[in-house]
Structure 1
Amino acid sequence: MSIKKTMSAVHIIPKQFPITKKEARLYMAFISVAFISLFIGGLMGLLQTLVRSGTITLPWGIDYYQVLTVHGVILALVLTTFFIIGFQFALMGKTVGISMKQRKAAWLSFWIMLIGTIMTAAMILLGKASVLYTFYAPLQAHPLFYIGLALVIVGSWVAGIVNFRQVYVWKRAHPHEKSPLLAFMVTINMIMWIIASLGVAAAVLVQFIPWSLGYAETINVLVSRTLFWYFGHPLVYFWLLPAYMAWYAIIPKIIGGKIFSDSLARLSFILFLFFSIPVGFHHQLTEPGIDPVWKFIQVVLTFMVVIPTLMTAFSLFATFEITGRKKGFGGLFGWFRHLPWKDVRFLAPMLGMLAFIPGGAGGIINASHQMNAVVHNTMWVTGHFHLTVATTVMLTFFGVSYWLIPHLTGRKLTPSINKLGIIQSIIWIVGMAIMSGSMHIQGLLGGPRRSSYSEYGGTEQAADWLGYQIAQAIGGTILFIGILLMVYIVIKLAFFAPTGKEAFPIAEEEANAKPTPKFMENWKLWIGITVLLILFAYTVPFIDIIQHSPPGSPPFDWPIGNQ
């Protein structure tokens, strides 16, 4: 443990733990599944755009909605969850260490998740679970689909428990020190994930599995959708917060700078915990059976997340400017021009950050009462998700992979692979701009999402939709080229790049930063406030939903059977 004294405070720089080969195999197992999922899910996405544009007809009796379900589940749930958990295990192993018992439990989480993924994927591929990634009732899947989903969730809980144990063991050995920033961030993300996934777990275990097995004759649709979106909105932040971890604590090291404020970073994550879960109703603004007052309250809570988002933007650009000016780059934007744009470890995440500006603006529209009515269930929403998770999050994950994979495999990020990565990042942003942009425009024209139709009754509007769907096919093709290139780069970094030592970049605080208040790690307080917000936002409306659901009356209860 090294101690760095400054005029204002004494900063303790936590020891970093070396990652052993056994640990590296664990982390790479998760990341490998993620990139296999990227290829499969990306191929399904390409097929969707080609079908909607009228370019191809799916062969061998394959149903469009089967392809759509594979695309949504494999990318939005499998890819993200496996990459995030692998990445977070690597961050925890590096900052607080991992014991042999913890590593074995982490392997258990991997195998539980993998078995669940295989079960779920098999049912989709067999055509017995074409229910999309939201698996809305009254669409019904084979019981093994729901059981597989439950296993993926349980496996992720095991991973979260391992992370909590890692922090607990570290704190016991360092009782008077604050936990490393990245370990704190991982803990917040997994607390949020476990609390949020209780909703979808309850829906699957209590409603969907008994219903699909024939033990229940009806299913309460509004309850199932409410439980899903109790989980579905914080799922977005489960995707985003690992990207924020890289932005706050890794990108500063890559550009040669330091963390602007440890306290501000921790506070922003605490606020994300508060305001990410009790806001699921803003996905249900058009659904009957929910009191408009509670919809409005949750919309207000949704907009509160703007605060930590703006805090993050301020912190990041403060880091960029301070670093640039320390290096002697003057002028109003000299620091911006001299950022390391030719380093793919910076370029890919930075492009993701910039894409989050229009993505966030679209999110404000989606969560607004009146404007949501214009775009709800249109291609606009699909375009929005492709800007956020498929651009902001994925480009950041790609940027992380360029240094994390060679670090774990004992290889080097070479100049040639770096150049390929820059090309891949540009291909990705161009393809996504074309595809997502045309989705947004088609949505404003009323083009429906979750639909394979490229024309509607020969109307003039259908011709406009078809033009934008052709643009989506062009963008989707460019994106698939980007996926092929990324998969090639990952294989190259894992197996064929020159052997060597690639750095694990973790930034330090500014030397004159004020000490982080101890109450930042008052977990009982933060979890307690989160639970209170959830109870406030959901208790009364959930009781109303159950009390006012007439049995057997749509849209609440539907008869059993495949719809």
Structure 2
Amino acid sequence: MNNSSAFIKVDRRDGKLAMAHFYVAFIALAIGGLCGLLQTLVRSGKFELPAGIGYYQILTVHGVVLGLVLTTFFITGFQIAAVSRTSGTLTNGQRKVGWAGFFLMTIGTVMAATMILLNKASVLYTFYAPLQAHACFYLGLTLVIVGSWLGGIVVIMSYVKWRKANPGKPSPLLTFMALVNSLLWFIATLGVAVSVLTQLLPWSLGLIDTVNVLLTRTLFWYFGHPLVYFWLLPAYMAWYVVIPKVIGGKIFSDSLARLSFILLLLFSIPVGFHHQLVEPGIDPGWKFLQVILTFLVTIPSLMTAFSLFATFENFGRSKGATGLFGWFKMLPWGDARFVVPFIGMLAFIPGGAGGMINASHQMNQVVHNTIWVTGHFHLTIATAVILTYFGISYWLIPHLTGRTLTKKLNKLAIIQGVLWAIGMTFMSGAMHAAGLLGAPRRSAFSTYLNSHQAMEWIPYQVAQAVGGTILFLSIILMLYIFINLAFFAPKGEQEFPVGEVAEEAEKTPMVLENWKLWLGLSAALILFAYTIPLIDIIQNAPPGSKGYKFW
């Protein structure tokens, strides 16, 4: 990329909007990280929670605050900054929509968090009936989702404005990717919105006596699996567009990057049944169909891996690297903006393999509802995704605050990433191993302490506590770096790195921006995968459940 565009600044007003989201996200990291540490200590059998705090209370805090609040706020802030940087400064109207979304999300977060802390919503974050939370919990998370829709509308408005000003041209790659992720989020959250507004919220308010448990779970997993890709696609944005610039290389292929995002939009939503393979009431044929669609998601993931390592190899060979892996030594191993996300990339390899096991009709029977699944989540979202978010923070936060990533902070950031990798190796590795031995997920140690089988799980529970402690130290270091980059680092200019496409790459076809085609295909796949099963679930519903209240 030429130097003239290297320091294009995100407008200060847009930067304030993005930073507001990041402040909430990192507060969530502190709270959720502490609850995660407490969970691992309790599961080790060596620690009891004080002041009558319940295990499932902190489990819910950990899941909601990290899985929904941290990610949604960070993604919204990052995407707003990305479209401002690549499609132009937001208009006053767009900015007002963005601020309205932020305040709705914040109010909703406070409402939901209050209910959890009062132990009136210990429902394990998955909204699973027959567990019933206080109505304020459901209302709060509804506001979070509606607020995030407004953040997505800002992205759509920016995209439309750019396309009108540049007819016949491919949109900026980062803007295109943010648009795809926003569209995925709109479509996916319709499921949980319908579940909450028509079943769970009226049930909690006492307006209806019972709910269709299988319907609520099906609607949740219609949302729950694409939620994973909502988390993942911003990491892909950084991997495809930012990392090539950070290492000094070029984007391997603009077309391949766009196609992989389109495929993820198509195949990430109509696959929720693979989370329900052991549940009765769903025809096995429809489960099998969605398993097939689930495995199709591996195609864009493999495309991404190919593109990334092709970028790395092209860069290395441009610097004179020879041999099969000579390029590996040429990568900037002293730059935290590369090293920390790269650790996340490596973690995604075993994480993806574990996901294929989870989605398999046969192997899922072995690991379903064991702590293996928790270990899988911690390799994917809590390592591949979160470490990439941290890597983004190391350049985006100082860019927005007018500060610089100093050599000292860069060194601390690399240490933070390495600590995370070590802690997660202990914790996630122990979770996978204990899961294969049958250790359940979501369970406090005391619930199976007297079980003979539980004795063989104890070493793995202790290893989880060791890993959790190391991870919490890494979180403290991350928060220290964030506070410095936001308030105390030296004033200066930090680049928002946006890579250029390699000269030899093929021209991007405009069909990739034919939204009538792609959204139509997405709707067709969803209707095909869900219409008949949902009709069957509704028509043949068992007696409704009155549920178990936590308030």
The TM-score with structure 1 as length reference comes to 0.96
Equivalent residue number for residue 199 of structure 1: 191
Q: Which of 228, 236, 245 does residue 237 from structure 2 map onto?
A: 245
Say whether the 8 Å CA contact 1:454–1:469 is kept in structure 2. Answer: no
Q: Which of 47, 55, 58 does residue 46 from structure 2 map onto?
A: 55
Give secondary structure in 1 for the equivalent of 2:545: strand
Say whether the 8 Å CA contact 1:455–1:462 is kept in structure 2. Answer: no
Q: Which of 320, 323, 328 does residue 336 from structure 1 map onto?
A: 328
Q: Which of 17, 22, 28 does residue 13 from structure 2 map onto?
A: 22
Q: What is the identity, as a one-letter code, of the residue corresponding to 1:381?
A: V
Say whether the 8 Å CA contact 2:402–2:494 is kept in structure 1. Answer: yes
Aligned residue pairs: how many? 548
How does 1:14-163 map onto structure 2 within 5 Å?
A: 18-97=9-88, 98-163=90-155
Give secondary structure in 1 for the equivalent of 2:505: coil
**Cα 1:181–1:14, aligned 2, differ >3 Å: closer, same or farther?**
farther
Equivalent residue number for residue 208 of structure 1: 200
Equivalent residue number for residue 9 of structure 1: none
Identity of matched residues, %: 65
**Cα 1:135–1:291, aligned 2, differ >3 Å: closer, same or farther?**
same
Cα RMSD, aligned residues only: 1.5
For structure 2, list consecutive stretches of 5 or more residues without a partner in the other structure.
none
Say whether the 8 Å CA contact 2:131–2:549 is kept in structure 1. Answer: yes
For structure 1, list consecutive stretches of 5 or more residues without a partner in the other structure.
4-12
Q: Which of 392, 398, 402 does residue 406 from structure 1 map onto?
A: 398
Say whether the 8 Å CA contact 2:8–2:496 is kept in structure 1. Answer: no
State the distance in 1 between where 2:255 and 2:548 align: 53
Give secondary structure in 1 for the equivalent of 2:126: coil
State the distance in 1 between where 2:127 and 2:256 align: 38
Equivalent residue number for residue 276 of structure 1: 268
**Cα 1:105–1:148, aligned 2, differ >3 Å: closer, same or farther?**
same
**Deviation of residue 342 (structure 1)?**
1.1
**Cα shift readout 1:100-136 (whole Å, capped 9, x = no counterpart):** 1101110000000000000000000011001011021
State the distance in 2 between where 1:225 and 1:190 align: 23
1:324 aligns with 2:316: yes
Q: Which of 465, 482, 506 does residue 490 from structure 1 map onto?
A: 482
Say whether the 8 Å CA contact 1:53–1:454 is kept in structure 2. Answer: no
State the distance in 2 between where 1:183 and 1:299 align: 31
1:360 aligns with 2:347: no
Equivalent residue number for residue 6 of structure 1: none
State the distance in 2 between where 1:436 and 1:341 align: 25
Give secondary structure in 2 for the equivalent of 1:442: helix
Equivalent residue number for residue 10 of structure 1: none
1:164 aligns with 2:151: no
**Cα shift readout 1:492-521 (whole Å, capped 9, x = no counterpart):** 111111110000100011123221111110
Runs of 4+, deviation exceeding 4 Å:
13-17
1:231 aligns with 2:223: yes
Q: What is the identity, as a one-letter code, of the residue corresponding to 2:519?
A: I
Give secondary structure in 1 for the equivalent of 2:211: strand
How does 1:372-411 map onto structure 2 within 5 Å?
A: 372-411=364-403
1:507 aligns with 2:494: no
1:522 aligns with 2:514: yes
Q: What is the identity, as a one-letter code, of the residue corresponding to 2:166?
A: H
**Deviation of residue 457 (structure 1)?**
5.8
**Cα shift readout 1:202-259 (whole Å, capped 9, x = no counterpart):** 0011101100000100010000000000000000000000000000000000010011
Equivalent residue number for residue 435 of structure 1: 427
**Cα shift readout 1:23-53 (whole Å, capped 9, x = no counterpart):** 1111101011111100100000000111111
Say whether the 8 Å CA contact 1:16–1:96 is kept in structure 2. Answer: no
**Deviation of residue 460 (structure 1)?**
4.0
Give secondary structure in 1 for the equivalent of 2:362: helix
**Cα 1:50–1:255, aligned 2, differ >3 Å: closer, same or farther?**
same
**Deviation of residue 341 (structure 1)?**
1.2
The TM-score with structure 2 as length reference comes to 0.98
**Deviation of residue 330 (structure 1)?**
1.4
Say whether the 8 Å CA contact 1:102–1:162 is kept in structure 2. Answer: yes
